[in-house]
Homo-oligomer: A and B are copies of this chain.
Amino acid sequence: MKTGLHFLIAAKRCEIAELQELTQTSALVRVTARLVHGLQRERGLSNLFLASPNGHWQPELDEQVAACVAMQQELLDGFGSMDIEPRLGQGARLFSRVAYVMQGLDALPALRQQVRTRAWTPQRATQAYIRLINGLLAVVFEAADSAGDPDISRRLVALFNFMQGKELAGQERASGAAAFGSGRADAATQQHLLHLIDSQERCLQVFADFASDDLMRAWQQAQQADTLAGLERLRRVICTAAPGQVLDTGQTQKWFDACTARMDGMKGVEDRLADELQGLCAQRQELARGELAVLERMLVASATAARAAQRSLSFFEDNAVTTLPPSAPAPPTWATPLDRSILDLVQEQARRLQTVSDELDTVRASLNERKLIERAKGLLMAHRHLGEEAAHKTMRQMAMNQNKRLVEVAEAVLAMADVLPSARP
């Protein structure tokens, strides 16, 4: 015969299982972040290679490809050791993301072949790398979306947005490298760069909203003033070049180095974020295990006494919490509550879960912006028969023309959904 206490213990064990899972996912996120960083550099070097005369940048590119092959193997090993037994929760989504990205990794040698033989333009190669990296970032996104602990979720959201910001910085490096390398920057390139800079800043703002004070300090230290000033100067050179004006290809190296210094600094912050995340997961697990031990002692100690006590009317008293209990200050960590009634514990747990749920809603709101944008893009693709890049470009253009945030444009697009003819059967 199970009692309320049995279910309280079962709930605590679920919490622990989820924290274990988050610990493993965090480790995987770390390896993913490393490969993303490597591929970003490989993309930048590929752009330099493709935009420059034959032979230039090839040794650097070859070296980076070799490094990426090793990192890729590390990630594949990580995927290989994932527990893929059927599970509840976000398992189906996470595994689908992994399946997707594994296809991309399989196709990577073919992509490198296109670059090596100069069969593709810098733009086309860049798009291919972006797609692969987006697939890797989507794995991190699923992890952020699945965490049930608000503090852990906050860290994951900060990390995801930081990685996203860094990826936009990487796209900026690639576009700028192609521009300097080829000696020209047309209006479209200039506009694209401005958009990348703007989007980066928005991602970093979300990071700032959710990161710990420690991390914010680390990020401020990583942004060295002189590197930043050099980068800003080069940004100005590209973005203000008049039509037909020739860029100094000698600046290519400087551009690449300034962008790379910035991204390497970001990688350091990213690593610290990942450390913090793993530390937090471990700490939460320890706490939950302590609470579980208390509950299990109660089960042994007070099986009969507690049952008599709980048959009281206190359940119906007005200070008791009800079904969807309100937010309330988090209770202090359990001391030695063997003398407390199970009802107290049940109510405390209910209150705590509610607080957690409220906080999670707040944290996840920032993930929803991304979902809105993707959904609006999907709508445009379906109704205007656009490809994905074209749909994204359309929305970006709308945002720039109307001086709005991308998410505001997305909301406007989705609001029109009802008046558009349906593409669904």
Contact = CB atoms under 8 A, between A and B. Distances in A.
B7 A107 contact: no
A221 interface: no
A86 interface: yes
A134 B323 CA distance: 6
Given A310-B103, A329-B425, A8 B96 contact: yes
A329 to B, nearest CB: 5
A138 B99 contact: no
B382 A100 contact: no
B109 A311 contact: yes
A88 B18 contact: yes
Interface string A89-102: 11111111111101
A8 to B, nearest CB: 5
Q: Which of A90, A99, A104 has the most CB of B within 10 A?
A: A99
Interface of A: 1-8, 10-18, 21, 76, 79-80, 82, 84-100, 102-104, 106-107, 109-111, 114, 127-128, 131-132, 134-135, 137-138, 141, 148, 307, 310-316, 318-329, 342-343, 346-347, 349-350, 353-354, 357-358, 361, 370-371, 374-375, 377-379, 381-382, 387-389, 391, 423-425
Across the A-B interface, the 6 shortest Cβ-Cβ residue pairs: A326-B378, A88-B89, A14-B91, A89-B89, A138-B323, A10-B84
Given A7-B84, A131-B323, A318-B387, 20 more contacts: A1-B76, A4-B99, A10-B85, A10-B86, A14-B86, A17-B86, A18-B92, A87-B88, A88-B91, A92-B148, A103-B310, A106-B315, A107-B310, A110-B312, A131-B320, A326-B381, A326-B391, A328-B381, A328-B382, A354-B378
